[in-house]
Homo-oligomer: A and B are copies of this chain.
Amino acid sequence: MLKIAVLGCGRIGRMHAENIHAHPRAELAGVFDVFAPAASEVSQKLGVTNFASAEDVFASENVDAVLIATSTPTHADFIEQAVAAGKPILCEKPIDLSLDRVNVCARNISGSELPIMLGFVRRFDPGHRAVRLAIEAGQIGDLHQVVITSRDPGMAPDAYMEASGGIFRDMTIHDFDMARFILGEEVTEVFATGSRLVNPALMERLNDWDTVSVVLTTASGKQCIINNSRKATYGYDQRVEAFGSEGMAVSENRRPHMTTLHRGDFTGQGAPLLNFFIDRYAEAFAAEIDAFVDTIENRVAPDVGFEDGRQALVLAEAALKSVIECRPVKTSELG
């Protein structure tokens, strides 16, 4: 049994703790949260250690690996500490809101061969993954266009929005990673357009956007379009379409069940899409833990690592620059 400790007991940390607890080849080594009651609740419910500090987690001989689900500003520090302690890492995205800090972190941990896996959970979604597998199997021929639709069911609280780093670093970053996952080729140019349509006053105040469209292009001419909105009233809209010389693969939205209603005024589902990310990506979050366990057991590099986290942030920075300067931005401009 691989013993994994969880740092951060917010809703995403709690969910990871339960998934580790349920995993047949892993066990939950304990939890930590800077807000003690949060960790205490989880430790009692699942009968595991409540660590007094992150340092204690890293120092514990009873911990084989760590899952970092704390607030974003702590990620880079904890990655460095975990590397120093020799503990394999699964870290929630983003590594940091600052590309500079990420680059510093990269230097600080260079040379380490510890597995560092980034929590781009959507790569583990069976539907999105089926798109990539279809491409790899040649079922759509050469890839030409990718369309990623990603709309949140509703806007987070103002406090969250203020600390989020803006839509590109907080929300689109998942889509930038998905684009790289599907394109299989680095993006060379980013054009983004941003609007303030959901909550114009807040967006104005934060100098942010709630509705964005992004066009990515690669050296070979592949095109990828990303649509984002902070608020889809019909649920969590998560689709990936890949179009190629021999066909198309589309990962459609998931629903709470496959039951439809037929009535005089409508025929379809009498419900919105799944609208909570933990429900929508439940299978993906479980598969992510599975992949992390595999990575450590088999001593292989994770499918999605530190550099993937850095590249997604490069695209976020390029998109931000594109909106501000009203022009397409080469990723090479960001070094």
Contact = CB atoms under 8 A, between A and B. Distances in A.
Contacts of A269: 266-268
5 contacts: A130-B256, A145-B213, A145-B227, A255-B267, A266-B268
B268 A260 contact: yes
B256 A147 contact: no
A231 B262 CA distance: 13
Nearest to A218: B195
A29 interface: no
B263 A246 contact: yes
A285 interface: no
Interface in A189-239: 189, 191, 193, 195-198, 211-213, 215, 217, 221-223, 225, 227, 229, 231-235, 237
Contact of A237 (B130, B225, B248): B248
A156 interface: no
A57 B50 CA distance: 34
A294 interface: no
A21 interface: yes
B261 A251 contact: no
Contacts of A293: none
A243 interface: yes
A213 B249 CA distance: 18
B197 A259 contact: no
A328 B128 CA distance: 31
> Which among A139, A147, A254 has the highest number of chain B CB atoms within 10 Å?
A147
A78 to B, nearest CB: 26
3 shortest interchain CB distances as A-B pairs: A268-B268, A195-B221, A22-B22
Interface string A290-302: 0000000000000
B227 A225 contact: yes
Interface in A93-124: none
Interface in A241-287: 243, 245-273
Contacts of A252: 258-260
B259 A134 contact: yes
Nearest to A258: B252
Given A211-B221, A249-B262, 17 more contacts: A134-B259, A134-B261, A139-B261, A140-B263, A141-B233, A196-B221, A233-B264, A247-B262, A248-B262, A250-B259, A250-B262, A251-B259, A255-B267, A264-B272, A266-B269, A267-B269, A326-B328
A327 interface: yes
A127 B248 contact: no
A109 to B, nearest CB: 34
A63 B62 CA distance: 29
